[in-house]
Chains A and B, each alone.
Chain A
Amino acid sequence: MGVLRTISLDEIAVQAKTSGRTSLQVMCSCLEQGIWPLRFVRNSGVFSAEQQRRLLSSKAAIIGCGGLGGHVATLLTRAGVGSLALCDGDAFSESNLNRQQVCRESNLGCNKAEAAAAEVAALASHVTLRVYPENLTAQNADAILLGADIALDCLDSIPARLLLQKQATALGLTLIHAAIAGEEGFFALVSPGADTLQRIYESGANDAEGTNRDNREQISLTAEAVLGVPTTTPAVIAAFQATLALQALTGKELPPPALHHLDLSALTLETFRL
């Protein structure tokens, strides 16, 4: 690989000012000419200049800004995704400090989506942000997902995940799902219109014998409620989630539909065909 032509943050700012464009527009224009913003130059072994430009022109909707979402927001920002919608109605509490990337002593009590937006803005001032300090509902979903190229399921309840998949399907969006408990986590790319989460959460083992649909409330105490979530699990699973999102956004060949299960206690990653 030859020496790459690069442009610094200061040079981008000057060009933006003199040409009346945004820094994001300047960076896209540079990448079209094969000139890499220095902030992304270490991505050049994985992304082409055109793929990097595509990321800058992409919009991701991150639904849930806690354990998974905080990491996903910062990872996608560092990778170069140019526009984010951040959605979470919850506020940080002390028990979040062990694992939630954006949670600090100084922002306890603050809304998670707003705190994630502040973190992203500090990391990358060019990122366009839309912030929704509210939970996803059937009423607000369209507005939150509007214009997104991809949605990331970083939620913490199964009903909310199913609602997100339904809304993403209606909009023809690719969804990147992840869920965690203890030292284990799951992630999956849900293609537009696929019923992956129903297959995981609604038509599981119990329905194979036609039983237990009415008993679902009895098993509502999910694994994470029992085992908690330690420090490293959301970071690792969020990294896989962000990787899948970046692959999809840059037009890379995607793996076949599958549910991936990571077990940090055994250091294993298994892939299951659904």
Chain B
Amino acid sequence: MPITVMLSTTLRTCVPGYNPVTGLCLDLPESLTVGDLADRLGLPRGEIKIIMLNGRHAGFAQIVRDGDRIGYFPAVGGG
């Protein structure tokens, strides 16, 4: 089940070698939640402020499906 994961700012440091152009192209063996996926990637849930699933605001409980594009964002407040 191929999916794409995009990471923002500090969350990128959680995945060594992360490429911001391609994101992470993963092939999941089974269905899992957005939160479970974050855990598997080593993304601290406490640092994830916004989740976008296929361009829409989402939460940890939502199920990741075939072909999904998931973005994880931390709190960004700089100006």
Contacts and interface: CB of A to CB of B under 8 A. Distances in A.
B20 A67 contact: no
B48 A227 contact: no
Given A199-B57, A219-B74, A184 B9 contact: yes
Nearest to B11: A223
A199 B52 CA distance: 12
A211 B45 CA distance: 10
Interface in A13-32: none
A215 interface: yes
B79 interface: yes
Contacts of B55: 270-273
A166 to B, nearest CB: 16
Nearest to A229: B78
A209 B56 CA distance: 17
Nearest to A185: B76
B10 interface: yes
Interface in B49-73: 49-52, 55-62, 71-73
Interface in A208-222: 208-209, 211-212, 215, 218-220, 222
A180 B76 contact: yes
8 contacts: A156-B77, A180-B78, A204-B48, A205-B49, A206-B60, A219-B75, A220-B75, A272-B52
Interface of B: 8-10, 20-21, 34-35, 45-52, 55-62, 71-79
